[in-house]
Structure 1
Amino acid sequence: MSGTKQFDEAAAVLRAAHAFWEKGFAGTSLSDLEAATGLGRSSLYNAFGSKEALYERALESYADTYARPILKALELPDIRAAIGEFFSLAVQALLDTSTPPGCLAAMACLETGGAEGPGAKFTAFQLKVIGDALRSALDRGVASGQLAEKTDTAALALTYTALLRGLASLHKGGQGARELQAIVRVSIGMLPIKAGRHRKTA
């Protein structure tokens, strides 16, 4: 409409995600969000309704931008390659100096997770998405004969989900590339490769 200032909503949401990523939901003020998005307070409310609604949009944007490529690695047919690439990409994302340290989704789990609160439904859904993708990859590994037949894929998927979230916490706490990459190597070693299969070097 003529005379109406236009803005890139998707870009504004992603910038808001970086603000929440830096300070958390509670620590991010409306002034921080104004500075991040370039929108005035009234424009923020008109566009998104509330801080909570913008936070949920920011979490969704974060997942689409940063989490989806990591989950894509689990589609690799070789289970060792899939798990290795999954964790390697997660570490690369954590070490990216163009983004705040840690992981916005992991932060949301710790800060606002549970049945109630901003982003609670998103964090529960995202954990399920990660767990389901991991279990599906592990199930394929069993079905293709790469993993031992009695592998508890549900428990291993849950363990890997916890490990993924733990990587973010460790990085936020100051652990660097060497330590995080060591965890990637251990995660691959946790796979119960079927006896007699050739173990490739990670």
Structure 2
Amino acid sequence: MAGIKQFNEDQALDKAMHVFWRQGYGATSMPDLAKATGVQRGSLYHAYGDKQNIFLLAFARYQRHYLEMVRQHMRLDDPEAALRAYFAYVISSMSEPVPPLDDTPSSRTRGCLTTKIATDETAMDEPVRNALRGMLEGLADVLEERLSQPDARARLALSPKDAARLLVTFTRGNVVMERIYHGPEQLQATADSMIQILFKPR
């Protein structure tokens, strides 16, 4: 990042993330990012180079926050309660309204940023794919770490690694269901069923 930035980088990347979340990767342009962040296009180019680099930096901030929130929910003493709290967080996050680009509120839910970018063919350059892989693998690591603890491992019907991988894949499917049904209660009920499958009866 050459030069001295004359703007608040955290705020600019946060606003940029919301643009990608709302519009997707391919439909977002540098003028869109300049307008949303309040930073002149030339300054954005000078600081970051291109749209892809802005996305990667914004996504890295999103990933750190998301995984830290998952870690907090997974610290609950009971592993089933930890997974319920994890799913509640995931469902609540993707069910929030789309952040507005202006003062006009939106009735649309924002869904999952990772899945939205992953299903955008224009975003599939290798640096972006690596960022998405890092997010999903990081999520699997957090889940596996908690499920590897003795209280969870003794009750799991699968290995912690397989259970974590299944949970990550299941979460991606739940994202699609949210886009269709917009029903947090239904999503949570389905998540509860997954938890019952993962754990042996007491």
TM above 0.5, yes or no, is yes
Match of 1:110 in 2: 119
Q: What does 1:38-117 align with in structure 2 at a 5 Å threshold?
A: 38-97=38-97, 99=99, 101-111=110-120, 116-117=125-126
Structure-2 change in CA distance of 1:7 and 1:114 (3 Å): closer
Read off the aligned partner of 2:114 and give its amino acid letter.
A
Name the SS for the 2:198 alignment partner: coil
Residues 1:152 and 2:159 aligned together: yes
Could you tell me which runs of 5 or more consecutive residues in structure 1 were left unpaired when the two chains were aligned: 198-202
Query: Does structure 1 conserve the Cα–Cα contact (< 8 Å) formed by 2:67 and 2:139?
Result: no
C-alpha distance after superposition, 1:66-99 (max 9, x if no partner):
4421232122221011111000111111122264
Structure-2 change in CA distance of 1:34 and 1:145 (3 Å): closer
Distance 2:159 2:11 in 1: 42
Distance 1:188 1:139 in 2: 15
C-alpha distance after superposition, 1:153-177 (max 9, x if no partner):
2222111001122222222334322
Query: Does structure 2 conserve the Cα–Cα contact (< 8 Å) formed by 1:62 and 1:104?
Result: no
| Aligned residues between the structures | 190
Could you tell me which runs of 5 or more consecutive residues in structure 2 were left unpaired when the two chains were aligned: 100-108
Distance 2:145 2:96 in 1: 28
Match of 1:121 in 2: 130
User: What TM-score comes out, normalization by structure 2 length?
Assistant: 0.82
Structure-2 change in CA distance of 1:20 and 1:120 (3 Å): same
Q: Aligned-pair distance for 1:152?
A: 2.4
Read off the aligned partner of 2:14 and give its amino acid letter.
L
Match of 1:200 in 2: none
Read off the aligned partner of 2:137 and give its amino acid letter.
K
Residues 1:135 and 2:126 aligned together: no
Residues 1:191 and 2:198 aligned together: yes
Read off the aligned partner of 1:117 and give its amino acid letter.
E
Structure-2 change in CA distance of 1:83 and 1:161 (3 Å): same
Distance 1:13 1:174 in 2: 31
Identity %: 26
User: What TM-score comes out, normalization by structure 1 length?
Assistant: 0.82
Name the SS for the 1:25 alignment partner: coil
Distance 1:167 1:150 in 2: 21
Q: RMSD value over aligned CA atoms? A: 2.5
Read off the aligned partner of 2:143 and give its amino acid letter.
L
Q: Aligned-pair distance for 1:51?
A: 0.6
Distance 1:112 1:77 in 2: 41
Name the SS for the 1:56 alignment partner: helix
